[in-house]
Amino acid sequence: MAIAEQFAGLSMDQLIGGPLSAAADASNQLACSTAEFINRVGFDANGKVRTVAFGYQKRSANNDGTSNLDEMKVDVPMLAIVPIPNLQVDEVNILFDMEVKQSERSESTSDMNASVNTSLNFGVVKVSVTGNVSSHQSNTRSTDNSAKYHVDVRATNHGTPEGLARVLDMIAASVSPALVESTLKDGNGQDLSQAAKEKAERLKALRHSISELESRVNAARDNLQSSIAMMKKIGSAQLNVFQGKITGLINGLNKDAEGYEGTVDEYNSVIDEINRSWSVFQGQAGDFIRLIADSNDSDDGTSLSAVFGLKELDQDAEQKYVVKVYAAPIEKRDDKPAENSFSNQYSGMVTAQNKAVESQKRLDAVEKELSDAKAEYSSLLAGQTVIEKKEEE
């Protein structure tokens, strides 16, 4: 058979495409297997994340010599504690070798072992003939066919998919141990007597109350500072208006007119006095707010307190700018938009002042509660109840 005929029956598309198609089908089945595992193990029938509850005990020491034995529980997603099968076909190698060897050899020899001795006379000539005949014949033919077909498929487990890992990280970030039950023990972890237990329970309640009161104090202090900062901001804007007016008046004066320098000095003196009042306000606004809160002034809340001592510009009968107490215009007028703008500034100051005073009062009240709670806590730690302390006093 000719060598070309040896390859005629081979289908190369099946030899190469068949294993590749099978590998693609295997990858699809592996992906479906991973998805099925995640749905079956990671979620319950209602589509909620399936979790496993872990319980443990945590002991913490208190300042009074007792300890808390806390029963804690944490819910961990099932997918975070079990390995996720994620097999993937990484590599497919197809190796096909076919080798055909064909050889043919033919040789022919003849050996004849025959001897002839004869003589012939041709007249005077005598001929003697001696002969030997040998003949040998041999034929050789050989054919060698060999074929190799090897498919190597490598699949490895790629672990948790990247997208699922990110989701699990977000879930884990929101998971925190929850307190199920807390039991008071003595310093050695033994049960307390009834009296000691009551005392320890009260101390525990006071610790919780003190923590909450401290948070409320911080919130009240932040609100107070925010209101004071708003007052200062509005005050700075109002002072800039006054300064701008004086600067405009000075720039509008005739430098060659008689008494120019004296008029400039008068204007500068006026604005200096106004600047001093607002500078003191910027530095001591918090102290002024405390004074107003402590005074329990029955003001209707529509005007700025005289405690601040703020001053503004005013025109007297001679149309000269002088200093007067900072106060809002009596009414707004459409023909005086600048005065209306001043009124808005003043109203903003009053609103911020009222908020600051209320924040100061709340802060004082919460600080008083915090001080009382800390005093009771210290007395209990010293082995004395608040009632006993008051009786001694």
Who's near 44: CB < 8 A, 6+ residues apart?
Answer: 50
Task: Identify whether the C-beta of residue 81 lies closer than 8 Å to the C-beta of residue 52.
Answer: yes
Task: Identify whether the C-beta of residue 50 lies closer than 8 Å to the C-beta of residue 41.
Answer: yes
Query: Is 283 contained in some domain?
Result: yes
84 beta partners: none
Secondary structure (DSSP) of 283-325: HHHHHHHHHHHHHT----SSS--GGG--EEEEE-TTS-EEEEE
Quote the crossing angle between the two packed helices 260-295 and 337-381, to the nearest 10°: 40
Q: Tell me, what's the pLDDT at 393?
A: 47
Query: Is 237 contained in some domain?
Result: yes
Query: Is 361 contained in some domain?
Result: yes
| DSSP 8-state class, residue 78 | G
Query: Is 297 contained in some domain?
Result: yes
Token code pair at residue 233 = 């901001």
Give per-residue pLDDT as tens, 277-320: 999 999 999 999 999 998 876 566 788 888 899 988 877 655 57
Question: How many structural domains does the chain have?
Answer: 1
Residue that has been written with the tokens 């005093």 in this structure: 375
Q: Tell me, what's the pLDDT at 338?
A: 53
Query: Is 82 contained in some domain?
Result: no
Task: Domain of residue 381: give its range.
Answer: 196-392
Q: Tell me, what's the pLDDT at 389?
A: 46
Residues of the chain with pLDDT under 50: 110, 122, 333, 335, 385-393
Give per-residue pLDDT as tens, 337-354: 555 567 788 888 899 999
Q: Tell me, what's the pLDDT at 386?
A: 45
Q: Tell me, what's the pLDDT at 223?
A: 93
Query: Is 112 contained in some domain?
Result: no
Task: Identify whether the C-beta of residue 347 lies closer than 8 Å to the C-beta of residue 222.
Answer: no
